[in-house]
Homo-oligomer: A and B are copies of this chain.
């Protein structure tokens, strides 16, 4: 099922692609939300229908496995349906109406604010998620939902998957009588960089390495007219295990950590690459449990030869740092398959050379003696997408636990309690981002507000009612809105359903 590497898109080809995107933009942004939602759902259905073929193609290109890939395809289907729900619900438009007040000094005009799409968006596909963060992944779904056409820069690691997914999109668009230019695909490193510079492109979504993302972010910022660049880059996702939880749950925590580290051969952006584990016998049991999982693991093919090389270099550099020992494994690649490795270091030896992200099945246990030492380590870490805190219920109210929560929260976008950071649910509240280098912005690439990245505010002042979009007329709107400073739910707004188990699971 693999195909030859696609030809890079030429500069002339790029101009054509951008021109076509601009042409469909006017059509797409003016379409009722319901029609946009309908396309997203139909595309979700198309992917679901072709799921077995898609998994087969992707597995042949990425070796991500027929265990994992079906889940990713279903996630992709869910994301498309989720953004259909988000635009139907309509809060994302942020409709805000201030009625005129001729009695105020100076007289206040009638003001109506709404978000509108920015224009054509470029999305860079990820190596490690050929579906959920690629052709029809979250960036594409949220941009299309916003009303922005998408130009996808394909990842060279899975061209046939890209083509097959794109084919599903085009067939669905054709069937609905919608222009297939709403999603176009380009190839080549140069083409990607040129698109970030192209005057017709209005925003960029990116999931990939810190190095590549930082380069493109600068290109976007150095344009004559800078455009927003939304990158999801590197992240170490620290795990903190308190002394009490090491005492009560050593085996469970150690096994869960190693499983999370080696999931998808360690090629997940939420891989917990660093775990802070107490010194002493309880911590030793955590580490031993983790080592047993890694020992039992079969070596795996990594996504690309470049990733395999980077991984080897990273492991070698980490092992050469002062005080670092290997708990188990070598991280070596034999006949194209790479084994896992767990390293260990004392908190006093934990330095900058050990704090970078490592893409692949490696992780390091940092053994600490006191909470102050632990807090010092956390403060030195680069920010991350997520962090995990394992603590006992009896510790929740303790001052030390509070300090740990505050220190971790200040450096991440998601704080997970008593679970590993891998697994990013597709829900309204989810946030997948964090201070640089986790992401380069205050925005998210997962969750309902991902759509906001591709929208900008417009205010209509003293507009004749008849010229207003329906959503901006308080007598006709079907979306939640703010009137004179207060939120109003429209007639018939459906209230939240309680989950089957009612309250939170804590």
Contact = CB atoms under 8 A, between A and B. Distances in A.
A112 interface: yes
Interface string A98-115: 111111001011111100
B506 A430 contact: no
A253 interface: no
A13 to B, nearest CB: 25
Given A111-B425, A467-B405, A496 B488 contact: yes
Nearest to A454: B442
Given A118-B442, A218-B221, A226-B436, A459 B415 contact: yes
A91 B94 CA distance: 11
A246 to B, nearest CB: 18
Q: How large is the interface on A (under 10, 10 to 19, 20 to 34, 35 or more residues)?
A: 35 or more
A320 interface: no
Given A111-B430, A413-B458, A499 B467 contact: no
A462 interface: yes
List the number of copies, as a whole number: 2
Interface string A477-490: 00010111111110
Contact of A498 (B99, B456, B461, B467): B99
A73 B284 CA distance: 65
A264 to B, nearest CB: 14
A143 to B, nearest CB: 14
A112 B429 contact: yes
Interface stretch (A42-50, A305-313, A443-451): A443-451
Interface in A81-140: 85, 89, 91, 94, 96-103, 106, 108-113, 116, 118
Q: Which 9 A-B pairs have the closest CB atoms?
A: A221-B221, A100-B505, A110-B504, A486-B496, A111-B429, A96-B429, A483-B496, A225-B436, A113-B429
Given A429-B482, A484-B496, 19 more contacts: A99-B502, A100-B503, A101-B500, A103-B500, A111-B429, A221-B221, A221-B222, A226-B436, A396-B467, A413-B456, A415-B460, A442-B457, A444-B457, A462-B504, A462-B505, A465-B506, A483-B496, A484-B499, A486-B497
